[in-house]
């Protein structure tokens, strides 16, 4: 992975930069000791590491603005950071950059049940947003698996999804407004407690922009009342094709499950060894969850069962109780942990049209043999968001490179069948150099034009999203 060379002029001015930051931030909010900055050298894509020049941990929008103004004046790149759980290297520093972490900004600013929103500082963790409203029976819908740790700031930057987004949508569909600081320190408000934009939909534009257009300091989020209940059903099939066809039929029938999760045989086996959830030994397994009152759940599950029966399932289990529900989810929820036990793994997240599922799974199986690396598939089938987990051994020379090459082939395949490189994790550095597989030169230029408008000096979150050679002229300008 190529990163731009650090700017020696910036490295040389470290002391001056730190001194200026200390003038506007409390002493403990500016970290410059290399022993301490190392804690920020990577995110969850741990294969890539680089300690930043310094770290700032502001406590308010005002402090963020002051810190950015100084970095802007001195021409220092800034990498915004939430909780550092990005799987794409989105929060990877460069040696000449300042990490701006929003973790200290975690207050709830306003909850309004009549108007169904909550306003929080952006460093608040995803799960604790729901935590703040659940006593009143409400929840915040987007639920990435990392929700215990990840921050709303990162969710907004990555437009993160979760297991329940088939019904409730991803971050952008639940984000009503933000307070954001531009690189030059200007504070802007986009959206709010009302719906839709009055001019251009800049809120929609900044959601998913990977920290490259501004630093989000506050967010206004839509909250919903919890459903009366939810129960899953487990369906096993003896082929991926049939499981894929069943997903399509369920969707067509007009039931809108909150989740349709898919696991293939390698994944089922690994999780069984690890979690002993009692899954059937079959080629493909679906977990379909529906919501509503008891009677509504029964009716929907009956309909799904009827559809599934037409596809000759090898196993079919409707949950009748909390305990059975937990058992059905147990394996799925421990899938990543199970993989981690076996080996190092790389998690991809390309999205494909649901109809291409059987073809893509077959090709991944073939490529797995060609590359000599095992793959397990576990993913959100309802919306085609794949999560192939490629197993490799970080201690074996050449394995990581082989794994990355294999991963790139899988992502190209996703694009080839009409899908995309990333459904929820973001481009970061990981998929930066694959962007040309999905987008032509003009498509990328149009996106980079947006970057030029928001951050003309290209200081915010450098070297992410766009291939370096595609952006070099703009960065130099």
Ligand X SMILES: Cc1cc2nc3c(=O)[nH]c(=O)nc-3n(C[C@H](O)[C@H](O)[C@H](O)COP(=O)(O)OP(=O)(O)OC[C@H]3O[C@@H](n4cnc5c(N)ncnc54)[C@H](O)[C@@H]3O)c2cc1C
Among 344, 383, 399, 430, binds other proteins (CB under 8 A): 383
Which one of other proteins, ligand X, none is in contact with 87 (Cβ closer than 5 to 8 A by kind)? ligand X
DSSP string across 313-382: -SEEEE--SHHHHHHHHHHHHTHHHHHHHH-EEEE---B--GGGHHHHHHHHHHHHHHHT--EEEEEEGG
User: Looking at 337, 446, 469, 472, which residue binds other proteins (CB under 8 A)?
Assistant: 446
Give burial (CB, 10 Å; 0-12/13-18/19+) of 401.
Answer: exposed
Q: Rule CB under 8 A: is residue 86 a binding residue for other proteins?
A: no
461 part of the interface to ligand X, by CB under 6 A: yes
**Strand 259-264's sheet: what is its strand order?**
315-318, 230-237, 284-291, 259-264, 375-380, 388-392, 344-347
Instruction: Single out the residue of 317, 327, 425, 431 in contact with ligand X (rule: CB under 6 A).
Output: 425
Length of the chain: 477
Distances (CA, A) of 208 to 66, 142, 163: 24, 14, 18
179 binds other proteins (CB under 8 A): no
Q: What is the distance between the alpha carbons of residues 88 and 66, in angstroms, rounded to a whole number?
A: 29
Of 88, 148, 168, 154, whose CA–CA distance to 435 is shortest?
Answer: 88
Binding piece for other proteins, criterion CB under 8 A, among 6-14, 274-282, 360-368, 420-428:
420-428
Burial of 322 (0-12, 13-18, 19+ CB in 10 A): exposed
188 binds other proteins (CB under 8 A): yes
In terms of DSSP bridges, do strands 315-318 and 230-237 run parallel, antiparallel, or are they unpaired? antiparallel
Question: What value, to the nearest 5°, has the Cα angle with vertex 157 and ends 413 and 348?
Answer: 25
Integer Cα distance of 166 and 255 in angstroms: 11
261 contact, one of other proteins, ligand X, none, CB 5-8 Å limit per kind: none
With respect to other proteins, which residue has the nearer C-beta, 215 or 373?
215
Interacting positions 107-166 with other proteins (CB under 8 A): 112-116, 137-138, 158-159, 161, 165-166
Q: Which of 228, 312, 322, 401 binds other proteins (CB under 8 A)?
A: 228
**Least distance from ligand X to the Cβ atom of residue 153, Å:** 3
C-beta of 36 vs 449, nearer to other proteins: 449
Interatomic CA distance for residues 81 and 433, integer angstroms: 22
Of the candidates 32, 86, 174, 318, which one interacts with ligand X according to CB under 6 A? 86
Cβ density class 134-165: b for 16+ within 10 Å, e for less: eeeebbbbbbbbbbebbbbbbbbbbbbbbbbb
Question: Does residue 90 belong to the site contacting ligand X (CB under 6 A)?
Answer: yes
Query: Judged by CB under 8 A, does residue 467 bind other proteins?
Result: no
The reply to whether 343 sits near other proteins by the rule CB under 8 A is no
Looking at 40-48, 58-66, 123-131, 375-383, which segment touches other proteins (CB under 8 A)?
Answer: 375-383
Our finding on whether 389 is near ligand X (CB under 6 A) is no
Binding flag, residue 260, ligand X (CB under 6 A)? no
Cα–Cα distance for residue pair 69/185, rounded to 1 Å:
5
Residues 258-287 that bind other proteins (CB under 8 A): none
Q: Interface with ligand X includes 161 (CB under 6 A)?
A: yes
CB-based contacts of 315, cutoff 8 Å, min separation 6: 234, 235, 236, 280, 282
- Taking residues 129 to 148 in sequence order and writing x for each that binds ligand X by CB under 6 A, - otherwise, the string is ---------------xxx--
Which of other proteins, ligand X, none sits in contact with 251, Cβ below 5 to 8 A by type? other proteins
Q: Which of residues 92-111 bind ligand X (CB under 6 A)?
A: 102
200 binds other proteins (CB under 8 A): yes
Interface with ligand X (CB under 6 A), residue from 76, 182, 215, 247 = 215
Q: Please choose, from the candidates 121, 82, 118, the residue with its C-alpha nearest in 3D space to the C-alpha of residue 101.
A: 82
Q: Does 444 bind other proteins (CB under 8 A)?
A: yes
**What residues line the site for ligand X (CB under 6 A)?**
43-44, 79-87, 90-91, 102, 122, 144-146, 150-151, 153-155, 157-158, 160-162, 210-211, 215-216, 336, 424-426, 461
């Amino acid at each position: 992975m190529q990163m731009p060379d650090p700017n020696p002029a910036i490295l040389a001015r470290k002391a001056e930069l730190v001194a200026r930051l200390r003038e506007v931030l409390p002493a403990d909010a500016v970290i410059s000791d290399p022993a301490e900055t190392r804690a920020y050298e990577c995110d969850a894509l741990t294969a890539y590491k680089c300690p930043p020049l310094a770290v700032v941990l502001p406590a308010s929008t005002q402090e963020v603005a002051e810190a950015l103004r100084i970095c802007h004046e001195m021409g220092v790149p800034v990498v915004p950071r939430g909780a550092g759980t990005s799987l794409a290297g989105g929060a990877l520093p460069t040696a000449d950059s300042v990490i701006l972490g929003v973790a200290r900004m975690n207050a709830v600013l306003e909850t309004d049940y009549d108007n169904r929103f909550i306003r929080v500082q952006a460093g608040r963790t995803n799960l604790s947003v729901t935590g703040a409203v659940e006593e009143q029976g409400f929840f915040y819908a987007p639920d990435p698996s990392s929700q215990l740790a990840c921050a709303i700031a990162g969710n907004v930057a990555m437009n993160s999804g979760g297991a329940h987004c088939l019904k409730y949508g991803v971050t952008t569909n639940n984000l009503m407004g933000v307070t954001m600081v531009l690189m030059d320190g200007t504070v802007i408000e986009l959206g709010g407690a009302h719906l839709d934009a009055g001019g251009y939909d800049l809120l929609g534009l900044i959601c998913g922009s990977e920290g490259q257009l501004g630093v989000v300091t506050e967010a206004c989020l839509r909250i919903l009342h919890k459903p009366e209940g939810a129960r899953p059903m487990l369906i096993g099939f003896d082929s991926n094709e049939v499981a894929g066809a069943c997903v399509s039929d369920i969707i067509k029938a007009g039931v809108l499950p909150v989740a349709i999760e898919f696991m293939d045989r390698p994944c089922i086996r690994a999780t069984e060894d690890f979690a002993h959830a009692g899954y059937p030994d079959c080629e493909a397994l679906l977990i379909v969850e529906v919501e509503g009152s008891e009677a509504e759940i029964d009716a929907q599950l009956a309909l799904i069962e009827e559809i599934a029966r037409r596809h000759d399932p090898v196993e079919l289990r409707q949950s009748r109780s909390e305990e059975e529900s937990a058992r059905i989810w147990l394996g799925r929820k421990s899938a990543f942990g199970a993989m981690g036990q076996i080996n190092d793994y790389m998690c991809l997240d390309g999205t494909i049209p649901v109809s291409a599922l059987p073809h893509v799974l077959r090709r991944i199986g073939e490529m797995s043999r060609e590359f000599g690396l095992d793959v397990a598939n576990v993913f959100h089938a309802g919306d085609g968001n794949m999560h192939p987990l490629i197993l490799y051994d970080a201690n074996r020379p050449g394995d990581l490179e082989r794994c990355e090459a294999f991963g790139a082939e899988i992502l190209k395949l996703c694009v080839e069948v009409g899908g995309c490189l990333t459904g929820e994790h973001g481009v970061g550095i990981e998929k930066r150099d694959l962007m040309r597989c999905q987008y032509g030169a003009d498509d990328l230029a149009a996106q980079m034009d947006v970057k030029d408008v928001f951050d003309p000096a290209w200081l915010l979150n450098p070297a992410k999203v766009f291939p370096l050679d595609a952006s070099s002229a703009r960065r130099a300008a």
